[in-house]
Amino acid sequence: MNNETKEHRMAFGQPKIEYKSNAQIRKMREAGLVLAEALDTVVDAARIGTTTAELDALFEGVLERHGATSNFKGYYGFPATICASVNDQVVHGFPSDYVLADGDVLKIDGGAIIDGWHSDSARTILVGTPDPADQRLSDVTEQAMWRGIAALANARFVGAIGEAIDDYVSSVEGEPLGILEDYVGHGIGTEMHQAPDVLNYRSGDRGARVKPGMCLAIEPMLVRGGIETRTLDDDWTVVTTDGSRASQWEHSVAVHLGGIWVLSAHDGGAAGLAPFGITPAPLQD
């Protein structure tokens, strides 16, 4: 989501946050599980010689099999069910006849809707034998996502997510990695992009207060070079200005009275949160 996009405004410019009931969060979990399966299918198929259009068709097939619909296809005219962004393409890349090659860094961002409730998740796939620097980039980005999710478990304000991500990325030894600031996480529910914005960096703004019923898509995007980006002539594909490679990882997460629940992870976030001493809290039927 572009940080400049401000939707769901009430009077006086205040963001309107949609808080979900437990039943609605369970419905979002259904969408999240379908999405996780669709992403698994794409990850398994993303090999040297496969086209990104073929991956899009596989993803769409999983959604159709479960009676889900895509929240990407047709969104402001977007032509596909996934964003497939390769190498210096950060986000919003179109699936095409591009043939995956050894060493490619592929970002797959997708979503699913069940009964009007949305999920959103992204993964970075390293094709063939990765460059060690690209492996590090993806690993740090994924870990940054989990740091942000873990911070949400005890956060009073949404800004704590970005602080945790920024602190971690800044502490990693070796070549510095850049955190994109123009594209951020977001609320999610009856629409894919809702208030509040979820920054991936320290900003001095503590953000919205965390309350039960809040559902957020947490999605850090890191680059090996500078954080400046530009949009290609298709008006969608975002690339790094200096040609450096990028990584994106994302999960949809719910806050409820019992804790947090990673809606788009098969295990609810158990493995990713365990290193931080946090146990996800699934809602019981």
**What is the average pLDDT across 167-196?**
97
Question: What is the C-alpha separation between 67 and 193, in angstroms, rounded?
Answer: 22
Residue 204's pLDDT band (boundaries 50, 70, 90)? confident
Domains and CATH numbers, the chain: 22-276 (3.90.230.10)
User: What value, to the nearest 5°, has the Cα angle with vertex 91 and ends 161 and 46?
Assistant: 105
139 CB-near residues (< 8 Å, 6+ apart)? none
**What is the average pLDDT across 113-126?**
98
Q: Which residues are annotated as a binding site?
A: 92, 109, 120, 186, 193, 219, 250
Question: E strands within 146-283?
Answer: 178-179, 185-187, 194-198, 215-218, 221-223, 229-231, 238-240, 246-248, 251-256, 259-262
Q: Which two structure tokens, joined as six digits, stand for 51?
A: 């086209």
Residue with tokens 């207060």: 209
Q: Are 255 and 278 in contact (CB under 8 A)?
A: no
Q: Which two structure tokens, joined as six digits, stand for 245?
A: 């490679």
β-pairing, 89-91 with 259-262? unpaired
Residue 52 CA, distance from chain mean position = 19
Q: Which residues are annotated as a binding site for a divalent metal cation?
A: 109, 120, 186, 219, 250
Phi, psi of 184 (to 5 degrees): -135, 175
Q: Which residues are annotated as a binding site for substrate?
A: 92, 193
Helices (DSSP H) in 155-284: which residue ranges?
159-171, 270-273
pLDDT, tens digit, for every residue of 242-282? 999 999 999 999 999 999 999 999 999 999 999 999 999 99
Q: Which two structure tokens, joined as six digits, stand for 211?
A: 């309350």
Question: What is the C-alpha separation between 60 and 63, in angstroms, rounded?
Answer: 5
3-state SS string for 98-129: CECCCCCEEEEEEEEEECCEEEEEEEEEECCC
**What is the average pLDDT across 45-52?**
98
Q: Are 148 and 161 in contact (CB under 8 A)?
A: yes
